Every structure is written in structure tokens, then in C-alpha cells.
Amino acid sequence: MTPAGQTAAAIELVGQILGSPRPADAVANDYFRARRFIGSSDRRAVSDRVWRVLRTYRRLGWWLHGEPTPRLLVAASLVLEGGSLADFSGGHFAPAPLMPSERSLLSRLEGRALDHPSMPDAVRLEVPDWLVARIDPIELRALQEPASLDLRVNLLKATREEARAALAAEGLEAVATPLSPWGLRIEGRRQVTSGAAFRAGLVEIQDEGSQMVAAVVDARPGMRVVDLCAGAGGKTLALAMTFGGCGAPACTMSSGICWRPGTSGSSEEPRRSIGCWWTRPAPARARGGAIRMRGCG
């Protein structure tokens, strides 16, 4: 893709994300999956611009005085970083030329920085107005920084050092996470899903916070664990890993996915199970609103 094509794709993707109730990463994944012709370097360039716009949405909107369009958001992001608007040429695969009203608005941003002393705290910190007084501004500012890439080592297949060495062989330098006993951290946005370590199941992409949830549960063989608020099942997989390939399964409920170890003593990642946990009210005489559960099938 040309730089102009990358800018056009970023505008299109920002528009889809803002117009969808789904999580931004899910929309982005579908966008790139439907456009296999976009190479990995182009995906990184488009994603970087889109995430920059989303992380600075309120500040960009403050500069744009109103309901900003995807075109203006991307253009303002470029201008406030000292970039050029040459991509808006109307050429092949390029964004349409800027209208006079758009160019007039953007010309006022030239030479400006993204932050401005007149910005309200909520705008500067990129949070809703009601939230700014409830959380330490230092923590809110930290949320504006790009996240590192955290991986969970699958201890059923490798130790943390073995997984780290496998990633290093691919040119990916990883360090141990400070809190999770299973975590590795790679700075910046790097492609890991196409590498040998990921494809062999040595690592999974998972934030350290999610890993710590599984670690605090301290699930062990012989226990039964239900993940009552699961999404894609990442924490459930981490819980199942702690069973060591045997014992009771860890199941998700909200996502409709149920996981179990493949076989007792297996070194494989847990596999999908046919059935799933379900709950029903206990008899009226039961205390505490107890529930009955059926295990994975």
C-alpha cells in the first residue's frame, strides 16, 4: 500500500469502529481479515494511526470543535504530530481532497501540539467528565500510553525461559513480567501469531492483569472452577493450565465455551468440550440462593 492508501484505510477503519457497538479490536480484526491483500507492515501502519486517533479522541475533538468526522480525526492527528496532508490527494486509493471547510479548520492546527493548557482535565486525560475526580490523574495519564504486548507461557509445553528463547530465535526480545509467574513482555506492537513459538502453543497473547486473575485463584488438580464472566476464554485457559493437564476442568459460562484438558497427564492445551456448565436455582429450602451445576460433557 502507498502511504495515501494507508491513510485512506485508517479513515475507513476509524469510521467502522466509531459506528459499531462492538469492541474496537474485534472490528479491526474483521476489517483486516476481509482484506487479506493488506500486508503485515501495512497493517501495522494502519493500526498505529487508528489507535493513535482512538487514544486521543477527546483531545482531537476539542481541537475540531464539535462532532469530528473520521476524515477530520485522522487529518488532525497527522497535523498535530507535524505531519503532512499530502495524502488527501484524491488519487488512486487515496482519500478524497479536503473540502475548503476542512482545510480551513485544519490550517488552524498547524504548529500546535496535541495538548493545550486550556483543555479541561477530562479532555486532556481522555475520560468522561464524571470520572476525572474519582481516579488519580497519574493513573489516567498512564492509560494513554500504548500498552506493551504481554504473553502467557503455556507451562504444559514450555518453561518461561524456554518460551523466551524460542521467541528470541524469531528476533523477538521478551522479558519476564514483574507480577505474573507465567508472563513475558515485548515492547511495542510486534507480530507473534505467525511465529513458530505461538503456532506451537508455547505462548498465548494475554495481558498481565488477566494472568494475575488466574494466578490469584490458585486452581489446582482436584478442584472445580467456573469462570462466571468469561469472554473469549483466555483466563479459563490459564486456569486449566494450572491443573497440569489433569483434574477437574475449568469452564466458562458467559461465552458459551467449555474447556477441559485433552487427557489426564497430557501436555496439550485444553480442548473445547462438547457440553458446558449450566446453572439452575436450588430447591427453595436451600440457603443462600445456592445453585446446582453440571460439569462439562
Q: In a structure prediction context, what are the per-residue pLDDT tens digits for the chain, which is 297 residues long?
A: 899 999 999 999 999 999 999 999 899 999 999 998 898 889 989 999 999 999 999 999 999 987 799 999 999 999 999 999 999 999 889 999 999 999 999 999 999 999 999 999 999 999 999 999 999 989 998 888 878 899 999 999 999 999 999 999 999 999 999 999 999 999 877 888 889 999 999 999 999 999 999 899 888 887 777 777 777 778 888 888 887 765 444 444 444 334 444 433 334 444 444 334 333 333 333 333 333 333 443
pLDDT of 160: 95
Please tell me whether residues 74 and 100 are part of one structural domain: yes
pLDDT of 258: 41
pLDDT of 59: 96
How many domains does the chain fold into? 3
Let me know if 191 is exposed, middle or buried by CB neighbors in 10 A (0-12, 13-18, 19+). middle
Please tell me whether residues 185 and 245 are part of one structural domain: no
Residue at which a domain ends, from 53, 88, 114: 114
SS3 sequence of 104-140? HHHHCCCCCCCCCCCCCHHHHCCCCHHHCCCCCHHHH
Entry pTM: 0.65
Please tell me whether residues 170 and 84 are part of one structural domain: no
Please tell me whether residues 157 and 230 are part of one structural domain: no
Q: Which domain holds residue 30?
A: 3-114
Please tell me whether residues 204 and 222 are part of one structural domain: no
153 backbone dihedrals φ, ψ, rounded to 5°: -75, 135
Please tell me whether residues 105 and 32 are part of one structural domain: yes
Let me know if 119 is exposed, middle or buried by CB neighbors in 10 A (0-12, 13-18, 19+). middle
**Which residue carries 469510521 as its cell?**
15
In a domain, 133, yes or no: no
Please tell me whether residues 238 and 200 are part of one structural domain: no
In a domain, 182, yes or no: yes
Q: Give the Cα separation of 74 and 7 in Å (integer).
A: 8
In a domain, 89, yes or no: yes
pLDDT of 220: 82
Q: Grid coordinates standing for 81?
A: 504530530
Please tell me whether residues 185 and 238 are part of one structural domain: no
In a domain, 130, yes or no: no
pLDDT of 40: 83
In what order do the strands lie in the sheet containing 203-205? 175-176, 183-186, 149-153, 203-205
In a domain, 147, yes or no: no
In a domain, 142, yes or no: no
Q: Model confidence over 173-231: pLDDT tens digits?
A: 999 999 999 999 998 778 888 899 999 999 999 999 999 998 998 888 877 777 777 77
In a domain, 145, yes or no: no
Q: Which amino acid is at 33?
A: R
Please tell me whether residues 182 and 199 are part of one structural domain: yes
